[in-house]
């Protein structure tokens, strides 16, 4: 078999491709979708030429296919190899991915690609989340907007069908986005939180918890969304200040002439009052405690109670009406005092039959009516306008009503403690560490977790209700260990939990079963993600240890616990904590060893990006404009320890391409139309528009933050291009580092240092440093200095061979180092290098891996780091920069003569590097040594190790030169003054470490010498 040429084609001229022989071992791999890596050997070295600019799109297309075909991303358990596993935080299928996802997934891919190169058996598990309420709300909104229908018009089955269609569309889009970003996920394993494998895990977990008494049903106060008619979680609400009022009323106190005054923002809740509370120590109300008040509108008698927790005597009147069914604090108070709880609302927000004459009215209408009626009774003491911070539903944007309803809960006390212990004893470590506090604080509250949602989209609660004698259950489910039952709180109804769905007639026609209509909180299935995606629990029942015969269990045992979870801080409580809980509960082990929390991306105004605000960017826009490598580099560059990062966004004018910065008023879909300041044509700003606009073209978005990555990819490309143009005659061969010339030892020293640093930075999740280190080494050291120095050597037959080997070897290392961050650019160059220099590497060349994806991660001997050599090159760089500065100042186009007065050792060094100095600084004659004299008209540069004179015969501007020297002199004197003052301080000499004091002494001596030298030069200049 042979690989067709086009699969490794590089869009280079055909003729330069001379693949000699290509062979693929016969594949007997049984697993579908997996292909054994292919091997081929490569042709003879020759110089080849790349296009002038890196074309990211071509690279993306080519290498995505190439990687897929080779199955590099697929992982299977291999007992001899250490696994490295990450499960993706599954994106919601509510919509497309945004920048936060781009960041999150880039960082995961960097880790996965790096560890893969290190030889780990890496698995990155991809997938998406059904995102219960969020997805249903999106689809319901569309239904309302486009068809004017509610979910009830459609019915449960039809709505769920519609949501599945939505899911299919967005899941595909999300997976495409991930793929185009270069994420090296094991795509064959892609999961969805509602697919059968995950559903099985949910069912088994629920069953276990119910059986263990950890799941219960009870009446609790929840956040009720009256539009979606469901409970929503605390984290699904937001607070918004609205105009409201503070109403003051009086209730008569029974058997007295007294009244008790109180204030409320929600007068209609008087219908549900079951007490009035005062502070037990409040002298104003001592005599009323224990008496009875009357609610006139419904003629209910309610007690006046003392409650120190509910009442703050310094606020308002000091007396509080208590509505346990419609206020969280009152609810707690109601529990403490065993008050009745009267629910006055229907699910749609109208008053129910408990509201007597007000039944059927909307709650806001009732509010007015109640107030009027109280006024008629003379019990209304006025209202005061006030801004009220009101809870709203995230999904429907309507005000939340606290509402008493039946819900399912998980008891958290023991589960939470186990999860806390795992972090306290270090089985799970947070990076940065401080986030452990968020986790521990939240779990420490041990609040029971409400897991039921009155929705249609999600995992149905596996509970069936029946009214019957228990004997019926025992008979019907005899011998079955997959069905358990318990009586509800009122002891009237059986709650039956089953691993498999029960038919309605399971108990016979006399006792029909009815399944709970609710679904589970979406986080219930997300909480199982690390083990459910790996196949837990397999076909076995929870009590049976599955054993070696179960392949799913074997697989889970291999990859679980996973290595690291990469996520953002806002779901530490919602998700991270719950994964630890269920992991410990189901598997008995933590789900991951590390949790890395990355920063958030903000817009230009410091606000988080969100779809609602419309300040987000589609990663595909960035990929289209700058390339996937640039997107990834930008993301890695941004990922610092502490700091959220601002990302100013621009709209790209669809007519003329001008970048128009996004302003505040463009957000929240407020501005439908923007006029381009350059071409004056209108367009619609890019963003979260729900539909197309046929008349107005929509702008793509851009951000200059990605230019750095695009430029870097191009720089790397061109460095490679230069090399490939100069590889004629390249012959691989071993190098003895200690025998190499100084410039080679320098770049190898720098390379060894950079490589070690990057490895360490990756280990510590210091992503931003990784980007910086690889960028600086590649650009400022390799390209700016080493490549420039190599130009002379490549022309010199004596030096050419070694220079080629070192250049190729260093570039090879750079490609490996950069690959986790910029895989497409790295692969493009890697493949080109494979054509021209298949055997390469330092110090001993080896045949190259067929892809940089599987090339070994580099590591170099610590002995290569040579600080003395680095110092010598740094001195040369100082000399070169000094000469360049003079040339630039005098605008010199021709070469200059340079005279350097220095010690013999330094002079030897400069002589050895003379070729580079003349090349890099444009020097004609270079003289150095202790006896070198300053030429009459020259510019001076004073350095601790030398004095350099640039001859300016006939060109010198004496005044300007003197002025410059004086400025320098002033700076040095000021610095000297500071340094001397420090040294003269006896406390400093005594208390500071000896080496610091010595450093200071050396500095003073240096400065004094330099000042003397500058003074001397100034004198000479003036005399001349």
Partner RNA sequence: GGGCGCUUAGCUCAGUUGGCUAGAGCACCAGCUCGACACGCUGGGGGUCAUAGGUUCAAGUCCUAUAGCGCCCACCA
710-749 residues near RNA, rule: CB under 7 A: 710-711, 713-715, 718-719, 721-722, 725
Which residues within the stretch 546-565 sit at the binding site for RNA (CB under 7 A)?
none
The DSSP bridge pattern shows strands 700-702 and 839-840 to be unpaired
Size of the site for RNA (CB under 7 A): 96
Residue 419 is a binding residue for RNA (CB under 7 A): no
Residue 47 is a binding residue for RNA (CB under 7 A): no
Nearest residue (CB) to RNA, 201 versus 913: 913
The one among 791, 843, 849, 1008 contacting RNA by CB under 7 A: 791
Q: How far is the CB of 550 from RNA (least distance, A)?
A: 38
Which residues within the stretch 598-617 sit at the binding site for RNA (CB under 7 A)?
600, 602, 604, 606-608
Using the structure block, give the residue that is written with the tokens 């630890």. Answer: 580
Which residue, among 593, 1022, 636, has the nearest Cα to 817 in the 3D structure?
636
Residue 768 is a binding residue for RNA (CB under 7 A): yes
The one among 176, 663, 681, 991 contacting RNA by CB under 7 A: 991
Nearest residue (CB) to RNA, 372 versus 1002: 1002
Residue 361 is a binding residue for RNA (CB under 7 A): no
String of b and e for 918-950 (b: at least 16 CB within 10 Å)? bbbbbbeebbbbeebebeebbbbbbbebbbbbb
Which residues within the stretch 482-541 sit at the binding site for RNA (CB under 7 A)?
none
Nearest residue (CB) to RNA, 391 versus 679: 391
Q: How far is the CB of 390 from RNA (least distance, A)?
A: 7
Q: Edge-to-edge strand order for the sheet containing 514-515?
A: 483-487, 494-498, 463-466, 514-515
Phi, psi values for residue 535, rounded to 5°:
105, 0
CB 942 within 8 A of CB 1013: yes
Residue 890 is a binding residue for RNA (CB under 7 A): no
Which residues within the stretch 867-886 sit at the binding site for RNA (CB under 7 A)?
881, 884-885
Which run of H or of E encompasses 449? strand 449-450
Residue 704 is a binding residue for RNA (CB under 7 A): yes
Nearest residue (CB) to RNA, 312 versus 501: 312
The one among 648, 697, 799, 936 contacting RNA by CB under 7 A: 648
The DSSP bridge pattern shows strands 896-902 and 923-929 to be parallel
Residue 54 is a binding residue for RNA (CB under 7 A): yes
Which residues within the stretch 364-393 sit at the binding site for RNA (CB under 7 A)?
388-389, 391
User: Quick one: which segment of 133-141, 181-189, 701-709, 800-808 binds RNA (CB under 7 A)?
Assistant: 701-709
- The number of angstroms, rounded, from the C-alpha of 470 to the middle of its chain's C-alpha atoms is 52
Q: Is 232 helix (H, G, I), strand (E, B) or coil?
A: strand
Q: Which pair of tokens denotes residue 219?
A: 């009446």
Q: How far is the CB of 239 from RNA (least distance, A)?
A: 5
CA-to-CA distance for 258 and 287, rounded, in angstroms?
A: 11
Residue 316 is a binding residue for RNA (CB under 7 A): yes
Nearest residue (CB) to RNA, 449 versus 560: 449
CA-to-CA distance for 405 and 1024, rounded, in angstroms?
A: 98
User: Quick one: which segment of 104-112, 346-354, 535-543, 980-988 binds RNA (CB under 7 A)?
Assistant: 980-988
The one among 784, 796, 846, 1015 contacting RNA by CB under 7 A: 784
Which residues within the stretch 425-464 sit at the binding site for RNA (CB under 7 A)?
434, 437-438, 441-442
Residue 421 is a binding residue for RNA (CB under 7 A): no
Q: How far is the CB of 51 from RNA (least distance, A)?
A: 10
Phi, psi values for residue 38, rounded to 5°:
-95, 155
Nearest residue (CB) to RNA, 419 versus 497: 419
Nearest residue (CB) to RNA, 695 versus 984: 984
CB 940 within 8 A of CB 948: yes
Residue 281 is a binding residue for RNA (CB under 7 A): no
Which residues within the stretch 581-600 sit at the binding site for RNA (CB under 7 A)?
600
Q: How far is the CB of 665 from RNA (least distance, A)?
A: 16
CA distances from 103 to 174, 436, 767, 824, 914 (A): 14, 22, 11, 17, 47
Q: Edge-to-edge strand order for the sheet containing 230-232?
A: 230-232, 215-225, 400-410, 449-450
Residue 345 is a binding residue for RNA (CB under 7 A): no
Q: How far is the CB of 561 from RNA (least distance, A)?
A: 25
CA-to-CA distance for 608 and 601, rounded, in angstroms?
A: 6
Sign of CA pseudo-dihedral 620, 624, 625, 630: positive
Using the structure block, give the residue that is written with the tokens 């604090």. Answer: 329
CA-to-CA distance for 28 and 25, rounded, in angstroms?
A: 9
Q: How far is the CB of 67 from RNA (least distance, A)?
A: 23
Which residue, among 11, 64, 310, has the nearest Cα to 181 in the 3D structure?
64
What residues have CB less than 8 Å from 363, skipping those under 6 apart? 268, 345, 349, 350, 351, 401
Nearest residue (CB) to RNA, 343 versus 877: 877
User: Quick one: which segment of 316-324, 514-522, 575-583, 797-805 binds RNA (CB under 7 A)?
Assistant: 316-324
Which residue, among 963, 975, 964, has the nearest Cα to 1006 in the 3D structure?
975
CA-to-CA distance for 871 and 44, rounded, in angstroms?
A: 39
Nearest residue (CB) to RNA, 36 versus 239: 239
Residues 92-111 as x/- pattern, contact with RNA by CB under 7 A: --------------------
């Amino acid at each position: 078999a042979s690989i067709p040429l086009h699969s490794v084609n590089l869009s280079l001229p055909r003729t330069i491709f001379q693949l000699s022989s290509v062979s693929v071992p016969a594949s007997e791999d049984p697993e579908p979708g997996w292909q054994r890596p292919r091997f081929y050997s490569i042709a003879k070295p020759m110089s080849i030429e790349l296009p002038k600019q890196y074309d990211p799109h071509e690279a993306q297309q080519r290498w995505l296919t190439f990687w897929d075909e080779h199955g590099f991303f697929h992982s299977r358990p291999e007992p001899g190899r250490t696994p490295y596993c990450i499960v993706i935080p599954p994106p919601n299928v509510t919509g497309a991915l945004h920048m936060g996802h781009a960041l999150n997934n880039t960082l995961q891919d960097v880790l996965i690609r790096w560890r893969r190169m290190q030889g780990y058996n890496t698995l990155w598990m991809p997938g998406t989340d059904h995102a219960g309420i969020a997805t249903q709300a999106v689809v319901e909104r569309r239904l309302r907007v486009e068809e004017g229908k509610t979910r009830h018009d459609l019915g449960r089955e039809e709505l769920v069908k519609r949501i599945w269609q939505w899911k299919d569309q967005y899941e595909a889009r999300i997976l495409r986005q991930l793929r185009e970003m270069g994420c090296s996920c094991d795509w064959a394993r892609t999961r969805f939180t509602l697919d059968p494998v995950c559903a099985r895990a949910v069912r088994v977990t629920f069953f276990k918890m119910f059986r263990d008494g950890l799941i219960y049903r009870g009446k609790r106060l929840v956040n009720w969304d009256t539009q979606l008619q469901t409970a929503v979680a605390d984290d699904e609400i937001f607070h918004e200040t609205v105009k409201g009022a503070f109403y003051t009323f009086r209730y008569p106190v029974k058997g007295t002439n007294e009244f008790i005054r109180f204030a409320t923002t929600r007068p209609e809740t008087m219908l549900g009052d079951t007490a009035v509370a005062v502070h037990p120590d409040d002298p104003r109300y001592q005599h009323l405690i224990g008496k009875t008040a009357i609610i006139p509108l419904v003629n209910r008698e309610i007690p006046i109670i003392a409650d120190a927790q509910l009442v703050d005597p310094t606020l308002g009147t000091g007396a509080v009406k208590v509505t346990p069914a419609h206020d969280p604090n009152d609810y707690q108070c109601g529990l403490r005092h065993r008050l009745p709880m009267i629910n006055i609302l229907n699910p749609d927000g109208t008053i129910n039959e408990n509201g007597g004459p007000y039944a059927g009215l909307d709650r806001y209408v009732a509010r007015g009516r109640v107030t009027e009626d109280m006024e008629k009774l003379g019990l209304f003491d006025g209202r005061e306008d006030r801004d009220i911070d009101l809870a709203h539903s995230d999904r429907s944007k309507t005000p939340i009503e606290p509402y008493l309803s039946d819900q399912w809960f998980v008891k958290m006390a023991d589960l939470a403690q186990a999860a806390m212990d795992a972090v306290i004893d270090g089985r799970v470590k947070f990076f940065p560490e401080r986030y452990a506090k968020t986790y521990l604080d939240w779990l420490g509250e041990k609040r029971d977790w409400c897991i039921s949602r009155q929705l249609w989209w999600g995992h149905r609660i596996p509970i069936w209700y029946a009214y019957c004698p228990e004997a019926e259950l025992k008979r019907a489910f005899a011998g079955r260990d997959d069905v358990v039952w318990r009586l509800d709180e009122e002891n009237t109804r059986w709650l039956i939990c089953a691993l498999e769905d029960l038919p309605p007639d399971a108990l016979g026609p006399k006792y029909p079963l009815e399944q709970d209509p609710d679904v589970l909180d979406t986080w219930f299935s997300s909480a199982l993600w690390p083990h459910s995606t790996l196949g837990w629990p397999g076909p076995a029942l929870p009590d049976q240890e599955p054993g070696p015969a179960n392949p799913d269990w074997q697989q889970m045992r291999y990859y679980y616990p996973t290595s690291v979870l990469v996520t953002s801080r806002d779901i530490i409580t919602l998700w991270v904590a719950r994964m630890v809980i269920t992991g410990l509960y189901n598997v008995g082990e933590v789900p991951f060893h590390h949790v890395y929390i990355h920063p958030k991306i903000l817009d230009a105004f410091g606000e988080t990006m969100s779809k609602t605000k419309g300040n987000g960017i589609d990663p595909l826009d960035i990929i289209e404009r700058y390339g996937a490598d640039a997107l990834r580099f930008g993301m890695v560059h941004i990922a610092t320890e502490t700091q959220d990062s601002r990302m100013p966004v621009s709209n790209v004018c669809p007519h003329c391409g001008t970048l128009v910065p996004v302003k505040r008023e463009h957000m929240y879909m407020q501005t439908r139309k923007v006029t381009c300041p350059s071409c004056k044509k209108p367009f619609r700003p890019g963003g979260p528009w729900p539909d197309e606009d046929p008349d107005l073209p929509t702008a793509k978005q851009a951000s200059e933050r990605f230019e750095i990555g695009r430029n870097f990819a191009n720089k790397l490309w061109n460095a490679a291009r230069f090399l490939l143009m100069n590889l004629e005659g390249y012959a691989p061969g071993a190098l003895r580092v200690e025998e190499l010339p100084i410039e080679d030892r320098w770049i190898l020293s720098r390379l060894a240092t950079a490589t070690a640093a990057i490895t360490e930075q990756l280990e510590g999740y210091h992503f931003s440093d990784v980007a910086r280190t690889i960028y600086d080494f590649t650009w400022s050291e390799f390209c700016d200095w080493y490549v420039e120095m190599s130009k002379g050597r490549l022309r010199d037959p004596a030096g050419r061979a070694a220079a080629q080997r070192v250049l190729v070897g260093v570039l090879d290392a750079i490609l490996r180092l950069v690959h986790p961050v910029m895989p497409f650019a790295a692969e493009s160059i890697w493949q080109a290098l494979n054509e021209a220099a298949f055997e390469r590497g330092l110090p001993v060349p080896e045949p190259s891996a067929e892809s940089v994806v599987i090339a070994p991660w580099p590591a170099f001997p610590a002995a290569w780091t040579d600080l003395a050599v680095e110092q010598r090159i740094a001195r040369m760089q100082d000399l070169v920069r000094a000469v360049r500065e003079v040339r630039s100042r005098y605008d010199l186009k021709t070469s200059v003569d340079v005279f350097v007065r220095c010690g013999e050792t330094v002079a030897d060094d400069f002589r050895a590097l003379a070729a580079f100095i003349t090349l890099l600084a444009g020097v004609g004659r270079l003289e150095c040594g202790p006896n070198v004299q300053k030429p009459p008209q020259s510019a001076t540069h004073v350095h601790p190790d030398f004095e350099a004179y640039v001859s300016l015969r006939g060109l010198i501007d004496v005044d300007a030169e003197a002025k410059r020297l004086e400025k320098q002199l002033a700076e040095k004197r000021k610095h000297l003054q500071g340094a001397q003052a420090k040294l003269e301080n006896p406390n400093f000499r005594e208390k500071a470490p000896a080496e610091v004091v010595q450093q200071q002494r050396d500095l003073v001596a240096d400065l004094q010498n330099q000042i003397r030298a500058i003074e001397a030069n100034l004198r000479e200049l003036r005399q001349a």
